[in-house]
Amino acid sequence: MAENKIPDSASALLLVEGIDDVRFFAWLKSKLNTNDAIYIYQLQGGKATLTKNLNLLAVDPNFNKIQKIGIILDTDDSPESTLQSMRDSVRGANIDADKVAVFRETMPPQNSGVEGRCLEDVLWAYFVDAGLPHIDCTENYIACIQKLSDTPITKIPQDSQLSKARYYALIATFKKPVHVDKSQQAISQYIKNHESPVFADLKAFLQKLLPE
């Protein structure tokens, strides 16, 4: 018998890449009237295993209750190539397109106005919008670091790593840094305004997954 990963209450799945994504969307979902309709599932093995994960979910005993699937993956170098990769993965999986509606989005969402390649860019944009006074200090610190070279004990972040480096440098200045406690409660401790326009597209995406 297939292992039951999908809870009985779920009518939709949200597939994300990492544990930080799981915690963020669990927090955001808690601000909407979703009850337990959306089950957040972390891809085992990252985005390259999307088809494999979809196939595993498709044989879950509760998959026949699923009406909608949402997939949100990091933009990385190109939102277009990320979306195409998702389309290819869904096409290669055992998903009945006539029975299950599949929604795809990049992180950050393409039309959100937030530039970047991952969740940390969305959270950085939130803190910029909130007017944190040490945003400029963090940007100056990262700019200074980029002028240096790798040493035996330090590694200078490259373009693909800058989003995370900048975000974690910022939250390291908080009284209880989120990277010490990455729980959903830690996220809600520092993100006070879930109505921020920065989150509007992500909330709209979650709303798409709710039952009609």
What pLDDT digit, counting tens, does each position of 191-201 carry?
Answer: 888 899 999 99
95: in domain: yes
Looking up residue 80, the CATH number of its domain turns out to be 3.40.1010
Same domain as 123, residue 108: no
Residue 148's pLDDT is 80
- How is the beta sheet containing 38-42 ordered, strand by strand? 38-42, 12-16, 68-74, 101-107
Q: Are residues 18 and 108 in the same domain?
A: yes
Can you list the residues of the chain whose pLDDT is less than 70? 1-4, 158-160, 176-188
Q: Give strand pairing partners of 105.
A: 72
Do residues 52 and 107 share a domain?
yes
CB atoms within 10 A of CB 127: 20
- Domain check: are 50 and 97 in the same one? yes
The pLDDT assigned to 180 comes to: 47
Q: Do the domain assignments include residue 144? A: yes
- For residue 152, being part of any structural domain is answered with yes
**Given this model, what pLDDT does residue 1 score?**
37
Strand, helix or coil for residue 108: coil
The answer to whether residue 51 is domain-embedded is yes
Question: How far apart, in Å, are the Cα atoms of 70 and each of 24, 39, 202?
Answer: 15, 10, 11
Q: Are residues 108 and 19 in the same domain?
A: yes
pTM over 0.85: yes
- Is there a single domain that holds both residue 41 and residue 67? yes
One domain for residues 62 and 127:
no
With respect to residue 6, please indicate whether it lies within any of the assigned structural domains.
no
The predicted pLDDT at position 4 comes to 56
69 and 124 inside one domain: no
The confidence score (pLDDT) of residue 152 equals 75
Per-residue pLDDT at 183 = 54
70: β partners: 14, 103
Q: Count up the domains in the chain and report the number.
A: 2
Helix (H) / strand (E) element for 38: namely strand 38-42
Spatial separation of the C-alpha atoms in residues 193 and 207, rounded to whole Å: 18
Same domain flag for 88 and 176: no
Token pair 């939102």 is at which residue?
A: 79
Indicate if 69 and 108 belong to the same structural domain: yes
Query: Domain residues for 176?
Result: 119-183
What is the reported pLDDT for 128? 92
Nearest 5 degrees, angle CA 57-CA 58-CA 61? 85
| Residue 190 counted as domain residue | no
Determine, yes or no, domain membership for 86.
yes
> Which one-letter DSSP state was computed for residue 183?
S
pLDDT of 149-204, one tens digit each?
Answer: 777 777 777 666 888 888 888 888 887 655 545 555 566 677 888 899 999 999 99
Is 7 a member of any domain? no
Is the distance from CB of 110 to CB of 54 less than 8 angstroms?
Answer: no
